A = this chain, B = another copy of it.
Amino acid sequence: MINYPNGKKRILQEHITDTSRRGMALETDINTTNIYYLDRDIAVIHKKPTPVQIVHVDYPERSHAKITEAYFKIPSTTDYNGIYRGKYLDFEAKECASRTSFPLFSTVHPHQIRHLEAVMRHGAIAFMIIRFTAHDETYLVPADKVTTFYNNAQRRSIPYSWFADNGYLIPLTIAKPVDYLTIVDKIYFDQKGGSS
């Protein structure tokens, strides 16, 4: 069973699917969606900058600094956070090329799992967004389901079928290519739907 809000079909999905968009596509789609939310004052959610260790900076002009040596750092938190309907919201997003499973342990760092657990203890709305590019499906999975799987893992990958049972298929429009707040409304704010 796939959780899907309002029984709507993904009628727009075909329009924006082609192989060239893969890889960075999910990040681009989430950024587009976040700008939509921001412009309409629905939510204030931003991607954090990529953490970089800066080693050397040149000043070819007085006013213009050029970084000439730097290295990527392992992130200590998730990539996205912000505020929605008065609540702190926090999530990590990953694209997955496999048809059969999501490689949780090789994709998500242990301190990102600890971070999700910490923000949940403090009352956050926390989740992961995972896109199976081969299936052209993007799921929201509440963070507690991911951390429970992680902590009790018999295997290092989550089977694709697990997402249909534990996740929610995120609807999309052209303006909101990953309209995850529709799902957040349903599972975190709808009295019928569930929690808090």
Indicate whether A54 reaches chain B with its CB closer than 8 angstroms: yes
**Chain A interface residue bracket vs B:** 35 or more
| Contact B122–A83 (Cβ < 8 Å) | yes
User: Which 7 A-B residue pairings sit nearest by Cβ, starting from the closest?
Assistant: A86-B123, A88-B88, A49-B51, A67-B70, A83-B88, A49-B49, A83-B122
Please tell me if the beta carbons of B69 and A66 are within 8 angstroms of each other in the complex.
yes
A188 CB to closest chain B CB, in angstroms? 13
The answer to whether A19 has its CB under 8 Å from any CB of chain B is no
A43 engages B122 (CB within 8 Å)? yes
User: A152 an interface residue at 8 Å Cβ cutoff?
Assistant: no
A149 within 8 A of B: no
**Among candidates B70, B73, B123, residue contacting A70 with C-beta atoms closer than 8 Å:** B70
> Do A41 and B83 touch (CB < 8 A)?
no
Partner of A67, one of B64, B72, B85, B121: B72
Residue A84 lies at the interface, judged by CB distance under 8 Å to chain B: yes
Tell me whether A104 is interfacial, beta carbon within 8 Å: no
Would A77 and B124 be within 8 Å (CB), given that A68-B68, A69-B68, A70-B52 are in contact?
no
Q: If the complex has contacts A46-B76, A67-B71, are A85 and B51 also in contact, measured as CB distance less than 8 A?
A: no
Query: What distance in Å separates the Cβ of A43 from its nearest Cβ neighbour in chain B?
Result: 7
* 22 A–B pairs (Cβ distance < 8 Å), ordered by A: A38-B118, A41-B121, A44-B119, A46-B76, A46-B77, A48-B48, A49-B50, A50-B54, A52-B70, A66-B70, A67-B67, A67-B71, A68-B68, A83-B88, A83-B122, A83-B123, A83-B124, A84-B122, A85-B123, A86-B122, A86-B123, A87-B123
Does A82 make an interface contact (CB < 8 A)? yes
Q: Apart from A46-B76, A81-B81, list 12 A-B contacts with CB within 8 A.
A: A44-B122, A52-B54, A52-B67, A52-B70, A65-B71, A66-B70, A67-B72, A68-B68, A70-B70, A83-B124, A84-B122, A86-B88
